[in-house]
Each structure stands twice: as structure tokens, then as C-alpha cells.
Amino acid sequence: MFLEDGVIIENKNMGDNYYLMKVKAVKSAVAAKAGQFYMIKCHNGIRILGRPISIHYADQENHMLEFYYEVIGEGTKEFTNYKIGEEIRLQGPLGTGFDTELKGKKILVVGGGMGMAPLKYLVESVKNKNTVTIIAAGRDVGAVRIADNYHFPKEDIVFATDDGTVGLKGNAVDAMKELLSKEKYDIVYTCGPHKMMEAVARVASEHNMRCQISLEEKMACGVKACVGCSIKTKEGMKRVCADGPVFEAEVIVDVNPKENTGCSCGK
């Protein structure tokens, strides 16, 4: 984990309330792993706590980090005003990321809405040694526009939208079930709304597939110093900032349809 002042190289609107920020981070970018995150400090001193933002992509050779964020509060709203050349305080990379040490596997990546943000770097980390299929799902075309920023052939991405404006009219699980009726996969990675991940994990369990999920929780410190992001798991209480945000699905989600199938994270 590093604490450094990165330099903003790009900070542009990607449509609606979505933004892409690129930051030069000489010290920490080389240590970044798919699924980890950074605490980004606001310039306005009133906002004492950093904002946890997942790593969208890391160009380790050029010491560049990408953060794809949505404006949902005053902190992220402030980010939109930052200019090229400004410094920004970064703390990270933090947390436990995805298992990317796989070879010769068939991988299914399922993203829902802003849950697709940390999946770009995941795909980049596994696609050269494995066969990868991506499901990009959201409420409408704006919610899946993030896929345009992937280094992956768009024609090879399976889209699903609630309103049917792009791809299958339906949700991520509908698309997943359709794929699994034709193909077999070794592992599923997923990030998105908790209910979506719960359903993805349940379907993965039914097909005897390993499943890793990336959780999103409100965080205060990001370094396991408080209990703000504690969740209940089958192995006891865990802190998303350090024990996660990536977990094995069977630890976090009750995928037994005969029992309570609510997300055990308590959100």
C-alpha cells in the first residue's frame, strides 16, 4: 500500500453521470491487482474521508491508473471538477483482488451496471491465458456504455438491458442461463448489485462452478482500522476493505435455494 500524490492525465465525462479519470501514479500503479481499490482524497478539506474507487485498469508499464466513477455524492461530484495536471492524493492499492493466476480455463465474467468498472482490469489480466466471455448488463444503454472502454472486441461481449435497447432484453442472470445452456465454464467472476451477484452465485453453484464476487460497501478508513465495512459471512465477520472486496461466493452468499437466499452481507 502506498500514499502518493498522483497527477491527473485525463478526467472526462463518458455520458450521463459517468466519468473516466486517468492518473499517473509512479509508485503504486505497478503494485495494482484486478479487484483492488484506492481511497481517493477530496481537495475540499471538509470531506475528511477518502472515497473508495475500484481500479478500472492499471497500465503498470506506464504507471497509469484508470478510475471509472459515477457521480452519486458530493465527493464524486467534486472529482468531476479536477483538471488535467492537478495532483490528487491516492492511498492504495487496497484490499484483496480477484484470483488471476489461471491458465487454460473457460472464464465467464458477469458485470451489472457500475459493477463492470473493476472487471476491465480483470479481463486484461486473464484473457491471454484463458478463454473469456463477458456479460455486460444494465438498465439501459447508458448503464452498459462502460463496455466501450474495454480492450475487448465488442462483438464478443454479450449485452443484456432491462429495456432491450442493447442486446438481450433481460438481466445478467437471463443472459448467463442462456449461455450455460450451450457452454460450460470453469469459473465465474461477478460484480454488480448484491441481488444480481446472489443470483449469479446460485446459478454457478447449480452448475458446479467456482464463483468469485466483488462486494461494494460503505468504507471509512479502507485499511481495516475501523468496522465500517464489516459483513457477516459463513466464516464469521469480515471487513470488505481488507478481507475483500473480492470473496469466494460460497462464503458470502447462501446459494441453497431450499434455505434463505438473501445476501448474507447484511446490506
Q: State the pLDDT at residue 232.
A: 79
What is the Cα–Cα distance from 240 to 237, expressed in whole angstroms? Answer: 10
Query: Is residue 16 predicted with pLDDT exceeding 90?
Result: no
Q: State the pLDDT at residue 91.
A: 95
Q: State the pLDDT at residue 64.
A: 98
DSSP state letter for 221 = S
- pLDDT category, 242, cuts 50, 70, 90? confident
Does the annotation place 47 within a ligand binding site?
Answer: no
What letter represents residue 67's amino acid? F
Does the annotation place 53 within a ligand binding site?
Answer: yes
Query: Is residue 61 predicted with pLDDT exceeding 90?
Result: yes
Does the annotation place 52 within a ligand binding site?
Answer: yes
| pLDDT digit string, tens, across residues 210-225 | 999 998 776 777 777 7
Does the annotation place 226 within a ligand binding site?
Answer: yes
Query: Is residue 256 predicted with pLDDT exceeding 70?
Result: no
What is the Cα–Cα distance from 60 to 161, expressed in whole angstroms? Answer: 33
How many other CB atoms are there within 10 angstroms of residue 167's CB atom? Answer: 18
Q: State the pLDDT at residue 267.
A: 28
What is the Cα–Cα distance from 209 to 203, expressed in whole angstroms? Answer: 9
Nearest residue to 244 via CA among 229, 234, 257, 258: 229
**Which domains are seen in the chain, by residue range?**
2-94 (2.40.30.10), 106-252 (3.40.50.80)
Does the annotation place 191 within a ligand binding site?
Answer: no
Q: State the pLDDT at residue 1.
A: 84
Mean pLDDT of the chain: 90
Q: State the pLDDT at residue 264.
A: 31
Q: State the pLDDT at residue 68.
A: 96
Q: State the pLDDT at residue 30.
A: 97
Q: State the pLDDT at residue 189.
A: 98
Does the annotation place 263 within a ligand binding site?
Answer: no
Does the annotation place 211 within a ligand binding site?
Answer: no
Percent of the chain whose pLDDT exceeds 70: 93
Nearest residue to 61 via CA among 30, 86, 84: 30
| pLDDT digit string, tens, across residues 80-112 | 999 999 999 999 999 999 999 999 999 999 999
26-63 burial, b at 16+ Cβ within 10 Å, e below that, comes to eebbeebbbbbbbbbbbeeeeeeebbbbbbbbbbeeeb
Instruction: Choose the weakest-confidence range: 45-54, 177-186, 251-260.
Output: 251-260
Does the annotation place 85 within a ligand binding site?
Answer: no
